Amino acid sequence: MKHSTTALVLAAGMALAAPHAALAIGDGTDSLPISQITLYRSGVGSFVRQGVVEGDAQASLRFRTEQVNDILKSMVVLDLDGGTVGGVTYASKEPLQRRLRAFAVDISDDPSRAELLTRLRGAQVLVRTTEGEERGAVLGVEARNIVHPQTNRSTVEHSLNLLTAQGVRTVQLDSVRSFEVLDGALAEELNMALAALAEHRADTTKSVAIDFTGRGSRRVVIAYVQETPVWKTSYRLVLPEEGGGDAGTRLQGWAIVENTTDEDWQNVRLALVAGQPVSFRMDLYEPLYLDRPEVPVPVAAGVEPRIYGGGGQSPFRDAEDEDGKVVARSDMRYRVERRAEPGPATIPSERLSNGFGIERLAQYVADTRATAAQDGEVFQYVLDAPVTVARQQSAMLPILSALIDTRRVSIFNRNDGLSNPMRGVEITNTSDLQLMPGPIAVYDGSAYAGDAQIGHVPAGDKRLLAYAVDLDVAATTTDRGASSVRKVRIVDGLIEQTTQQRHTVEYAFENKDREQGRTIIVEHPLIEGWDLVETPEPKERTQDTLRFEVSAKAGDSAKLGVTQQVVQSQRLELLSYDLPTLLAHQQAGRASAKVVEAFREAARRQSLVQEAERTIARLQNERNEINTDQQRVRQNMQTVDRQSDLYTRYVKRLSDQETRLEQIGAEITQATNDRERLRAELLAYLRGLNVE
């Protein structure tokens, strides 16, 4: 509705502020009433006050302290007929801790008795103890650790040192019952600090004053944004009797709004917007202080003041009314609409008899619905009649009554964990209105059938609603799965094995209703990358499911089979495969003879490499045995006479072994070279091997 924006030009979507007291003009005999409220589904709202002032005037508004930040962030004030806005003033909110530290006695950190007396050093006090009174100036508070021999634990005892006429006296704080500050000025500072604490607790509301300056009678507007409860929607869906057709089902929509403020909303133009503007909180009310470094006083020559040039021209233009007259000179445009305001809705004095059926109720609500429209990118409902909601009260307001297309269905999704489908209805939003998220109470004819929930439904979209369990229909599911190798080939020296996986779900439904048939919508999980095979095309596809339809006549059964398959390829090292498996694939036609022949050749080449490795291992083992035997012989030679025959035999044996060690070294070198050559030939063979 274009006509709903008396002040929406003030901001692209100013939300309802929660006004909290009457706004007085001048001497308080006049007021600026709330003329328009716009609620958003993001938890904010805007409201607009409009009225007429005479001459110089001041408007005063009271807000809860926690709401002042929203006022300072969003308030817009306009004096439309030639006047000016003098300014907006409000009581400053000094941070409590900083305010308390400003007093002569700092109690901002909730000091203990010992800490408080320490901060009173030099002050004259009267101390009353269990033994009498002491009068003097506070020197300080002394803390001592006392160790108790019985428990071997230590405690801290505090002593107050006083400068009296008789000298320095020490008083144990544990014996002090009370003390009195004798310095009147200092005592008054302490009292004021305590009063500031009490004032802070009681400071729940703040006054904001707006000054208007001008001559004669002028129109003024105040608008601002504040936090409000989210407006909610609920619906009533009245299905026609079975067999009476499904077209033209009545849908009623209600908006639930709460006036949580301390002010009545009297004959207010109410708009409910589906948009969610960005909104945040920022503490603009409490003064902000920054820690500044302390620097020495400069002694250099003085610096001349600098004058900065002005910025560019403001991009905003003066606002004009429909006749071209300037109605506001500001950096915010405002459009005045001239239209007759309808009176409040009236309720017919018709007596509701017992025969007042639910269908007639739907027609009655249609007479009090709101007007809905698309305003740019924002969809909104504007109540056709002014609304009155008392403070701290809520209201349920009719916003739509429309005929939409529906179709009775049963809905089955086995992930619900039920053995029955859900009774439901497929709705098509043929109302040209956007349906907001909310609950739906479903009535079947004149009987309550159940509850459903709906998300955002644009005009023309379809949605499924499930409102009850269909106990007359039993559902069972059966799963079957299979995996098979489809093809084996060699690609870049690797075995590429193509496997087909197939999964089938058999849905079976038994309709035990002997009078009514069923249209059952089956929601089957959508598996990414899997294709449907040997299955009817689904009626619909969602992001996560495939929807199939099954018809079950009265007293009859119906079945649906959904088969999905995926073909995947896996690459393995060629020589990690085994020949019997490959021969079986060849016999089944999944691998060609060329693949088997190439595998045999690769296996032959690998066997040559393995034979060379075995030769190297044998030679190394022989060398190790000779080395071990030589160590034994040398140890024996140390105990044998050098002139004996045994010693001579040992020498000859060592000589023969050394000759063999030289031969083994040469043979290992040759075998190693052969192995590396054969391995290189195998890798070269595999690197370019591609066989279908």
* Whether 114 contacts 106, CB under 8 Å: no
| 3-class DSSP assignment, residue 47 | strand
At residue 552, the pLDDT reads 94
Tell whether 201 is covered by a domain: no
Print the SS3 string covering 127-178: EEECCEEEEEEEEEEEEEEEEECCCCEEEEEEEEEEEECCEEEEEEHHHEEE
The Cα 677–Cα 357 span in angstroms is: 97
Print the SS3 string covering 252-296: EEEEEEEECCCCCEEEEEEEEECCCCCCCCCCCCCCCCCCCCCCC
- 601 and 567 in one domain? no
The whole-number average pLDDT for the span 462-466 is 90
Q: Which of 263, 217, 224, 223 is nearest to 57 (CA)?
A: 217
* Whether 63 contacts 284, CB under 8 Å: no
Strand partners, 299: none
Tell whether 266 is covered by a domain: no
The Cα 40–Cα 579 span in angstroms is: 72
* Whether 476 contacts 534, CB under 8 Å: no
Please write the tens of the pLDDT for every residue from 261-271.
Answer: 888 898 999 98
| 3-class DSSP assignment, residue 389 | strand
Mean pLDDT of the chain: 78
Residue 337 banded pLDDT, cuts 50, 70, 90: very low
At residue 92, the pLDDT reads 64
Read off the tokens for 213. 């300056």
Residue 94 banded pLDDT, cuts 50, 70, 90: low
Strand pairing of 494-511 and 217-227? unpaired
At residue 155, the pLDDT reads 82
Amino acid identity of residue 40, one-letter, is Y
The whole-number average pLDDT for the span 578-592 is 86
Read off the tokens for 212. 């208007």
> What DSSP designation does 536 have?
P
Tell whether 510 is covered by a domain: yes
| 3-class DSSP assignment, residue 379 | strand
Residue 5 scores a pLDDT above 50: no
Residue 660 scores a pLDDT above 80: yes
State which of 166, 196, 226 marks the end of a domain. Answer: 196
At residue 204, the pLDDT reads 67
| 3-class DSSP assignment, residue 599 | helix
Residue 316 banded pLDDT, cuts 50, 70, 90: very low
At residue 476, the pLDDT reads 95
H or E segment to which residue 570 belongs: strand 557-573
Please write the tens of the pLDDT for every residue from 161-177.
Answer: 888 888 888 888 888 88
Residue 362 scores a pLDDT above 60: no
- 615 and 532 in one domain? no
Please write the tens of the pLDDT for every residue from 473-526.
Answer: 999 999 999 988 889 888 888 888 899 899 999 999 999 999 999 999 999 998
- 644 and 563 in one domain? no
Residue 309 scores a pLDDT above 70: no
Tell whether 21 is covered by a domain: no
The Cα 253–Cα 400 span in angstroms is: 5
At residue 460, the pLDDT reads 87
How many domains does one find in the chain? 3
* Whether 511 contacts 552, CB under 8 Å: yes
Residue 293 scores a pLDDT above 90: no
* Whether 483 contacts 497, CB under 8 Å: no
The Cα 632–Cα 626 span in angstroms is: 10
At residue 475, the pLDDT reads 95
Please write the tens of the pLDDT for every residue from 232-262.
Answer: 999 999 988 765 454 478 889 999 999 988 8
Tell whether 643 is covered by a domain: yes
- 646 and 546 in one domain? no
Q: Which domain CATH number covers 643? A: 1.10.287
Dihedral sign from CA coordinates of 138, 143, 149, 153: positive
Greater confidence (592 vs 11) lies with: 592
The Cα 454–Cα 283 span in angstroms is: 37
- 577 and 483 in one domain? yes
- 572 and 499 in one domain? yes
At residue 555, the pLDDT reads 93
Tell whether 28 is covered by a domain: no
State which of 549, 571, 586 marks the end of a domain. Answer: 586
The whole-number average pLDDT for the span 459-480 is 92
Region of 354 on the Ramachandran plot (φ > 0 left; ψ -120 to 50 alpha; else beta): alpha
Query: CA 571, 573, 577 angle in degrees (round to 5)?
Result: 100
Tell whether 448 is covered by a domain: no
Please write the tens of the pLDDT for every residue from 47-81.
Answer: 899 889 889 988 888 777 777 888 888 889 998 88
Please write the tens of the pLDDT for every residue from 526-578.
Answer: 888 899 999 999 998 888 899 999 999 999 999 999 999 999 888 888 888 88
State which of 170, 196, 222 marks the end of a domain. Answer: 196
Q: For 639, what's the count of Cα atoms within 13 Å in the CB-facing half-sphere?
A: 4
- 572 and 597 in one domain? no
The Cα 581–Cα 568 span in angstroms is: 19
- 634 and 539 in one domain? no
Residue 335 banded pLDDT, cuts 50, 70, 90: very low
Read off the tokens for 614. 């075995």
CA distances (Å), origin 194, targets 100, 198, 324, 426, 535: 9, 6, 59, 67, 81
Tell whether 168 is covered by a domain: yes
Q: Which domain CATH number covers 155? A: 2.30.30.720
* Whether 4 contacts 22, CB under 8 Å: no
Structural domain that includes position 562: 473-586
At residue 8, the pLDDT reads 32
Of 278-287, 333-342, 518-527, 673-682, give the lowest mean pLDDT range.
Answer: 333-342
> What DSSP designation does 435 have?
B
Four-point Cα dihedral 268, 271, 272, 275, nearest 10:
-140
Residue 197 scores a pLDDT above 50: yes
H or E segment to which residue 659 belongs: helix 645-687
Please write the tens of the pLDDT for every residue from 399-420.
Answer: 888 888 999 999 999 988 889 9
The whole-number average pLDDT for the span 590-609 is 88
At residue 336, the pLDDT reads 28
The whole-number average pLDDT for the span 115-119 is 83
Q: For 579, what's the count of Cα atoms within 13 Å in the CB-facing half-sphere?
A: 9
- 578 and 490 in one domain? yes
Residue 24 scores a pLDDT above 90: no
- 628 and 533 in one domain? no
- 535 and 502 in one domain? yes
Amino acid identity of residue 510, one-letter, is E
* Whether 61 contacts 21, CB under 8 Å: yes
Strand partners, 270: 37
The whole-number average pLDDT for the span 290-314 is 45
Q: Which of 368, 369, 407 is nearest to 248 (CA)?
A: 407
